[in-house]
Structure 1
Amino acid sequence: MIDPILREAESKMGKSVDHFGGELATIRTGRANPALIDRIMVPYYGTPTPLNQLAQISAPEPRLLVVQVYDKSQIGAVEKALRAGEQGLNPANDGQVIRVPIPPLTEERRREYVKLVRQKAEEARVAIRNVRRDELHRIEHM
């Protein structure tokens, strides 16, 4: 009787933890990680589309990302979206691929990221607390 509620609560909490992990992957560290830019939205024929659906993103070197756009006519739009992103990246376009060097983190930027991680962690904690509260409420009203 309570087992389905517990399984559902565990599933919801797991989703919250997975979402938090995905959020952490988008925060820049000192190394190049394709997850840093794969969620950047690019205007693709008028429709905002995530970069990972328009291009292959790889990290051949520790401080370099290479973006191979499937539709070469969209290289300019992808480059513009990367420049406009909040990571402060400076992509270089050679006509075939876009190279995105990852600059080293400044101390100020590190402090901003620490605040951001704390905020995301608190959001995840709140989501888990809400799931626990809702499921306990369901159990009490059985």
Structure 2
Amino acid sequence: MTEQADMLLMEIEEKMEKCVQALVRDFATIRTGRANPSLLDRIHVNYYGAETPLKQVASISVPEAQQLYIKPFDKSALKDIEKAINESDLGLPPSSDGVGIRLTLPALTGERRKQLVKEVEKMSEGGKVAVRNVRRDGNDQMKKLGLPEDVETGYLEDIQKLTDKFIKLVDDATKSKSDDLLSV
């Protein structure tokens, strides 16, 4: 019986870890003023009629601290990539040289930095909600196992400890990203 509970506890921890990892990946798509290829992770290109992630149709490099260079594997995709970047929410004008596309990241203004910090905080709250949802589902599953009350209480406390641990990880990641955004 406790074997099932231990397995459930490991499963809950794994799910919470995935919530935090997803949040950190989302944070990587918010630019901090330095060029980072993960800024383009959300961009999909209409490549031969299929929505394809940009990094599957082109190589992305960082030639300078404020610049990204996108070189398609297939030159015919250049226009489609340019179109996808223009239609995205990046707000960066692509500059094509016939072989690849340069994206120059302008310096962030103080006001824009504050907006991005608010966006990070909103994403952070979503991450915390995801962790809490895993806790709720885990508690429900634990109660369905029909363990003796004192044993069940111990496992529910363990789930709460995991929740606290992962909420702290979300807070740490949020603080790190916010500090990164606010540092000039």
Spell out, residue by residue over 1:5-56, the C-alpha distance to the aligned partner (whole angstroms, 9 max, x if none): 1110011001101100100000011100000013201111221111011111
**2-side partners of 1:50 and 1:110: how far apart?**
27
Match of residue 26 from structure 1 = 29
Match of residue 127 from structure 1 = 130
Match of residue 144 from structure 2 = 141
**2-side partners of 1:17 and 1:73: how far apart?**
38
1:109 aligns with 2:115: no
> What's the C-alpha RMSD, in Å, of the aligned pairs?
1.1
Percentage of matched positions with identical amino acids: 47
TM-score normalised by L of structure 2: 0.74
Q: Which runs of 4+ in 1 moved over 6 A?
A: none
Match of residue 74 from structure 2 = 71
Q: Which amino acid aligns with 1:61?
A: E
Structure 1 unaligned segments of length 5 or more: list them. none
Asked which structure has the greater CA Rg, the reply is 2
Structure 2 unaligned segments of length 5 or more: list them. 146-184
**1-side partners of 2:54 and 2:39: how far apart?**
11
Candidates 86, 89, 94, aligned match of 1:91: 94
1:62 aligns with 2:35: no
Structure with the higher fraction of residues in strand conformation: 1
1:46 aligns with 2:46: no
Spell out, residue by residue over 1:44-70, the C-alpha distance to the aligned partner (whole angstroms, 9 max, x if none): 122111101111111121001010101
Partner SS for 1:58: strand
**2-side partners of 1:46 and 1:141: how far apart?**
48
Spell out, residue by residue over 1:55-110, the C-alpha distance to the aligned partner (whole angstroms, 9 max, x if none): 11111210010101011011011012112221210111111111111111123322
Partner SS for 1:31: coil
Structure with the higher fraction of residues in helix conformation: 2
**2-side partners of 1:88 and 1:26: how far apart?**
13
Match of residue 16 from structure 2 = 13
Partner SS for 2:13: helix
TM-score normalised by L of structure 1: 0.95
Q: Is the 8 A contact 1:82 1:91 kept in 2?
A: yes
